[in-house]
Structure 1
């Protein structure tokens, strides 16, 4: 079994499934040094998690100053499945709608509503930022596959039939 932190965890069925979803939580450090946790849409490219954002936001200001992040993609139904990523982000500002943003919006809103929304915002002067994360640490929790957090109490493991 792969250890938490191993990048090869990205090849597990749990990680592959979670990377097809569109909503994650991004944790980063704010300007005042306190943690932030926000929901974000994302697109997995096969080696990079892309989080599209609008230029000029506090999030972008804070990530420029402190690019270390953690990302969590998980499910809420049944026994949880969790993908955790850590690393430093890169930021690239562009004019107009990011292609990855268009993909995520069409996925979330549907093709017709997504296209209408994108047409409404794609005006001169629109600037977006491509936040890219190439993970340097990967964690997967999947209670059905018996991949548990480190130091899970023995009674919990026993309840899932995974006691050692």
Structure 2
């Protein structure tokens, strides 16, 4: 796929597809309420249009994401060579009374059907509040360090 970094069609590449279907954690970068950067590892679900994550009500990242919704995400493998998917977009935070719908899908992919069902059953109690964090990519980059490498590295070759 000969698309420039930043083109969201890179999400259709083999590397991106593999990472979006993997059990690697996404690392969500955002600006906290005190103005300093944060990176938080999170399980996620890719629905073909947005990366969906879930957190429990009261998490400090919720008001921070609402105040400054521009975020960056990475999903990567340790390598060598690493495969890296870079995404930028805006986080949309939605309060949910109960379990975020994608929460079970997320846990199913990471831990299997039986463990996902047990996890959802354990937390699904009256009064539970969660937040659905959805990031619709506006920029995408892919690095596989074989066919797609960072510009600075490519220019040195």
Structure 2 residue runs of 5 or longer lacking an equivalent are none
Give distance in 2, aligned partners of 1:96 and 1:110: 21
* Residue 50 (structure 2) pairs with residue 15 (structure 1): no
2:109 to 88, 107, 110: 107
2:87 to 74, 85, 88: 85
Q: What SS is found at the alignment partner of 2:99?
A: coil
> Alpha-carbon deviation of 1:111?
1.6
**Aligned twin of 1:74:** 76
1:24 to 23, 26, 45: 26
Structure 1 stretches (4+) deviating beyond 3 angstroms? Answer: none
**Normalising by structure 1, what TM-score?**
0.89
2:126 to 124, 135, 139: 124
> Alpha-carbon deviation of 1:13?
0.6
> Alpha-carbon deviation of 1:113?
2.0
Give distance in 1, aligned partners of 2:36 and 2:118: 37
Give distance in 2, aligned partners of 1:131 and 1:104: 13
* Residue 52 (structure 2) pairs with residue 50 (structure 1): yes
Q: What SS is found at the alignment partner of 1:53?
A: strand
> Alpha-carbon deviation of 1:154?
5.1
Listed one character per residue, the Cα deviations across residues 46-84 of structure 1 (whole Å, up to 9, x for unaligned) are 011111111211011110111010000001133110000
> Alpha-carbon deviation of 1:112?
1.5
2:41 to 39, 56, 60: 39
CA RMSD after TM alignment: 1.3
Considering only CA atoms, is the larger Rg found in Structure 1 or Structure 2?
Answer: 1
User: More deviation in 34-43 or 74-83?
Assistant: 74-83
Give distance in 2, aligned partners of 1:52 and 1:127: 11
Give distance in 2, aligned partners of 1:110 and 1:81: 24
> Alpha-carbon deviation of 1:115?
1.2
* Residue 3 (structure 2) pairs with residue 2 (structure 1): yes
> Alpha-carbon deviation of 1:153?
6.0
Q: What SS is found at the alignment partner of 2:21?
A: coil
